[in-house]
Amino acid sequence: MRLSLRQWVASVLVLTQLVHGALCWGKDDHYTVCKIAEGYFEEETIAAVKKLLPESSQGGGDLASFCSWPDEIKHLSQWKWTSAMHYVNTPEYRCNYQYCRDCHDSHMQKDWCVTGAIFNYTRQLMSASVNSESLVHYNLTEALMFLSHYMGDVHQPLHTGFREDQGGNTIIVHWYNSKTNLHNVWDDLIIESALKQYYNSSLPVMIQALQAKLMNGWSNDVPSWKSCQFNQTACPNQYASESIDLACKYAYRNATPGTTIGDEYFLSRLPIVEKRLAQGGIRLAAIINRIFSAKTKLAGA
Ligand SMILES: *[C@@H]1O[C@H](CO)[C@@H](O)[C@H](O)[C@H]1NC(C)=O
Ligand SMILES: *[C@@H]1O[C@H](CO)[C@@H](O)[C@H](O)[C@H]1NC(C)=O
Ligand SMILES: *[C@@H]1O[C@H](CO)[C@@H](O)[C@H](O)[C@H]1NC(C)=O
Ligand SMILES: *[C@@H]1O[C@H](CO)[C@@H](O)[C@H](O)[C@H]1NC(C)=O
């Protein structure tokens, strides 16, 4: 891998500070976000994505099957430096997020957080799309997989959580009868229970239900979900601000250390989780569509 000295040093530093628990949204969640996005790809996007994806008998041009890749590799020594890119934390239990204050890793390296990474990979894909001769020396396959993955992460409320509890990772609770941490409840357990109780333990059934809601209940909201202030290609700061707001209003509320979380919490939080999955998918599609239509627009202008 092409690691600069700075990255190498950072990766060694990250190695030495082991993180509590998982810091990633579950596999099902990333698959769902990307699967929903695929349904909204424009024609140029479908072609461009297919060209970029790794050839694999299994994947076959399906973005969703590559969306957990950043979680699979982040434990490998040459990729350790990416592990700070999956989240952003706010200091002093603040319920608001600010890029300049919050987007850094634990060694205060600027831009090393989930929103910084989304800006980074959007910029890389955009510059390659607009300028095909391209001074671009980045691996755009990786850029696409990182962008798609981090768009899921930034929509998980506790991936913009408090620094003091590592986004809920150090808050030990009981989820019904089993001991776990709050971060894991939001990464995996809410969705797992929903799959069992409402979707016949089938991820495709859940995805279909979300797609149906996007055509009905949420259809009026979709245009506003897609849009970014100032016509930016991506607006991750907005997504992170929403996440910390939801974290304060729903994730942390009634979930102090030692709490037993059951039906009441599950039933009131599930709609939030489902909406965030849908928003993540819609916005990922919007961003990738903007990236791959940029060239056509310039040529047509
Ligand atoms: C941007 O992406 C490149 C390629 O993966 C990486 O080397 C660099 O560290 C990233 N920078 C940030 C701030 O994410
Ligand atoms: C780009 O990244 C992918 C995934 O890491 C890798 O399989 C592929 O070989 C890389 N391509 C180049 C040209 O380095
Ligand atoms: C639920 O899943 C089982 C096993 O996968 C299947 O046989 C059954 O038809 C499914 N039920 C519904 C209502 O989809
Ligand atoms: C955003 O783009 C639209 C359509 O391309 C344009 O009409 C509008 O003026 C732009 N707004 C800003 C703030 O640039």
Poorest-pLDDT segment among 53-57, 74-78, 119-123, 143-147: 53-57
Q: Structure tokens of 268?
A: 């009131």
Distances in Å between the Cα of 50 and the Cα atoms of 20, 116, 294, 296 are 36, 26, 17, 17
For residue 232, the CA-to-ligand 4 centroid distance in Å is 10
* pLDDT given for residue 11 in this prediction: 42
Could you give the angle at which helices 236-246 and 114-130 cross, rounded to 10 degrees? Answer: 160
* pLDDT given for residue 137 in this prediction: 82
**pLDDT cut 70: percent of the chain above it:** 86
For the cut 60, the answer to whether the pLDDT of residue 21 exceeds it is no
Helix or strand (DSSP H, E) at 220? none
For the cut 70, the answer to whether the pLDDT of residue 240 exceeds it is yes
* pLDDT given for residue 29 in this prediction: 95
d(CA 87, CA 74): 13
Tens of pLDDT, residues 262-286: 999 999 999 999 999 999 999 999 9
For the cut 50, the answer to whether the pLDDT of residue 290 exceeds it is yes
Which residue's CA lies nearest to atom 10 of ligand 1?
A: 120
d(CA 13, CA 80): 9
Tens of pLDDT, residues 99-134: 999 999 989 999 999 999 999 999 999 988 887 665
Q: State the closest ligand 1 atom to the C-alpha of 138, by its place in the atom list counted from 1.
A: 4
Mutational test site, ligand 4, from 226, 231, 235, max ligand atoms within 8 Å of CB: 231
* pLDDT given for residue 195 in this prediction: 97
* pLDDT given for residue 134 in this prediction: 57
Q: Which of 130, 100, 96, 137 is nearest to 115 (CA)?
A: 100
Ligand closest to CA 72? 2
Distances in Å between the Cα of 22 and the Cα atoms of 61, 166, 291 are 28, 10, 31
Mutational test site, ligand 2, from 142, 144, 146, 148, max ligand atoms within 8 Å of CB: 142
For the cut 60, the answer to whether the pLDDT of residue 241 exceeds it is yes
d(CA 211, CA 137): 37
For the cut 50, the answer to whether the pLDDT of residue 20 exceeds it is no
Mean per-residue pLDDT, 11-24: 36
d(CA 279, CA 206): 15
- For residue 252, the tally of other CB atoms under 10 A from its CB is 20
DSSP string, 266-286: HHHHHHHHHHHHHHHHHHHHH
Decide: residue 148, CB within 10 A, 0-12 exposed, 13-18 middle, 19+ buried.
buried
Backbone angles phi, psi at 110, to 5 degrees: -60, 145
Place of tokens 């982040």: 74
Decide: residue 295, CB within 10 A, 0-12 exposed, 13-18 middle, 19+ buried.
middle
* pLDDT given for residue 186 in this prediction: 98
* pLDDT given for residue 26 in this prediction: 75
Tens of pLDDT, residues 145-167: 999 999 999 999 999 999 999 99
Q: Which of 81, 73, 164 is nearest to 120 (CA)?
A: 81
Which residue's CA lies nearest to atom 12 of ligand 2?
A: 139
d(CA 83, CA 58): 26
Is residue 161 classed as helix, strand or coil in its secondary structure?
A: strand
d(CA 292, CA 125): 8
* Band of pLDDT at residue 10, cut at 50, 70 and 90: very low
Mean per-residue pLDDT, 12-37: 64
Mean per-residue pLDDT, 29-46: 97
What's the pTM value of the predicted model, to 2 decimals? 0.89
d(CA 13, CA 106): 9
Which residue's CA lies nearest to atom 7 of ligand 1?
A: 3
Domains of the chain (ranges plus CATH)? 3-84+94-299 (1.10.575.10)
Largest CA distance in the chain: 61
Backbone angles phi, psi at 129, to 5 degrees: -70, -40
For the cut 90, the answer to whether the pLDDT of residue 295 exceeds it is no
**pLDDT cut 90: percent of the chain above it:** 80
* pLDDT given for residue 294 in this prediction: 76
Mutational test site, ligand 2, from 2, 65, 138, 139, max ligand atoms within 8 Å of CB: 139
Q: Structure tokens of 4?
A: 């600069």
Tens of pLDDT, residues 191-220: 999 999 999 999 999 999 999 999 999 999
